[in-house]
Amino acid sequence: MPWPYRALPERDLDAVDLSTTFLGRRLSAPVLVGAMTGGAERAGRINFNLARAAGRLGLGMMLGSQRVMLERPEARATFAVRDVAPDILLVGNLGAAQFGLGYGPAEATRAVREIGADALAIHVNPLQEALQPGGDTRWAGLAARLAEVVPALDFPAVLKEVGHGLDAATLRAVAGAGFAAYDVAGAGGTSWARVEQLVHRGEVLSPDLCDLGVPTAQALRDARQAAPHVPLIASGGIRTGLDAARALALGAQVVAVARPLLEPALESSEAAEAWLENFVRELRVALFVGGYGGVEEVRGSQP
Ligand code: FMN
């Protein structure tokens, strides 16, 4: 997608307004740390470093799956990032498949309340589960189940994919559930299905299946049409501030970045902060030279 260029932007770089509001919280830029589970030992370090970085920069954070925390209460400490980031937009996370296997509003509420989150992302990952030995493969009736659970929650719920994209038929199927936002998590970035195959089998047995899905830009366009009034998170392969600018132009409210933050997060909160700071600076420059005064002006400007 070509990006406009203005040789005379007629405004100061610092005057480009990146601030926005999402799920009731003010953000200094439309950027969220993406959801990542980290395994028992590393999860705490990853979450704390990312939360500290998000807090210092005024960005939001989506946590990785909290299933482990609901099943083993001692794991809760690894998600308790409110101590280091009291004011960030914090989004909890559970898998949709669990809601077909006994989870309900009570589990969703525990996940959010026990860590002081603002909202809950429910991830749909049928491809990943189907390729994973012992994965959850019972997906019949889940749209109806989500339509029972989500309206019973007294906090916002976000429907999210994990790197293969939310498609228009899925968005139509959950239209009545009342999700507060959709994270399209399209194909083209990390294939979590591929990651899981590598982790569980030590090799990728089905590489063509691992790369299936709706590419992020297409998913944004489809979601805009299928659900024009539901705010969108753009994720899946968002790697630079220019990628973020393009996603906003396609109608996203905010963007989320997962995999590129893993190494910095394992290193330190300063490394994660430096990565995010550069990303936000790139976004600012992209809007500046594109002739946009801010996030509200660029959002949805491309068909
Ligand atoms: N998505 C979830 O909804 N819950 C998770 O627990 C979760 N864990 C992840 C762990 C790792 C190591 C990675 C790489 C991804 C994980 N994801 C999870 C998917 C990401 O949130 C994201 O949708 C996907 O990686 C695409 O974004 P990216 O291209 O920026 O990495």
Domain ranges of the chain: 13-298
Helix (H, G, I), strand (E, B) or coil at 160: strand
Q: How far apart are CA 277 and CA 241, in angstroms?
A: 10
Q: Whose CA is nearest to atom 2 of ligand 1?
A: 35
Q: Whose CA is nearest to atom 19 of ligand 1?
A: 162
Q: Which amino acid is residue 112, in one-letter code? A: V
| 37 Cα–ligand 1 center, Å | 8
Q: Are 105 and 150 in contact (CB under 8 A)?
A: no
Instruction: For residue 112, give every residue at least 6 positions away whose Cβ sits within 8 Å of its Cβ, in sequence order, or none.
Output: 92, 118, 119, 120, 155
Relative orientation angle of helices 241-249 and 269-290, to the nearest 10 degrees: 50
Task: Write phi, then psi, for 258 (nearest 5 degrees).
Answer: -110, -85
| 159 Cα–ligand 1 center, Å | 14
Q: Is the ipTM of this complex over 0.95?
A: yes
pLDDT tens by residue, 20-67:
999 999 999 999 999 998 776 788 899 999 999 999 999 999 999 999
Q: Whose CA is nearest to atom 12 of ligand 1?
A: 36
User: pLDDT tens per residue, the chain (303 residues)?
Assistant: 789 999 999 999 999 999 999 999 999 999 999 999 877 678 889 999 999 999 999 999 999 999 999 999 899 999 999 999 999 999 999 999 999 999 999 999 999 999 999 999 999 999 999 998 899 999 999 999 999 999 999 999 999 999 999 999 999 999 999 999 999 999 999 998 888 888 878 888 889 999 999 999 999 999 999 999 999 999 999 999 999 999 999 999 999 999 999 999 999 999 999 999 999 999 999 999 999 999 999 999 998
Q: How far apart are CA 54 and CA 180, in angstroms?
A: 22
Cα angle vertex 185, ends 184, 191, to 5°? 150
128: its two tokens: 């990943």
CATH topology of domain 13-298: TIM Barrel (3.20.20)
Residue 218 known to bind ligand: no
Pocket of ligand 1 (CB under 6 A): 34-37, 64-65, 93, 121, 123, 160, 162-163, 185, 189-190, 192, 195, 235-238, 257-259, 262
pLDDT of residue 200: 79
Tokens 């690894």 belong to residue? 78
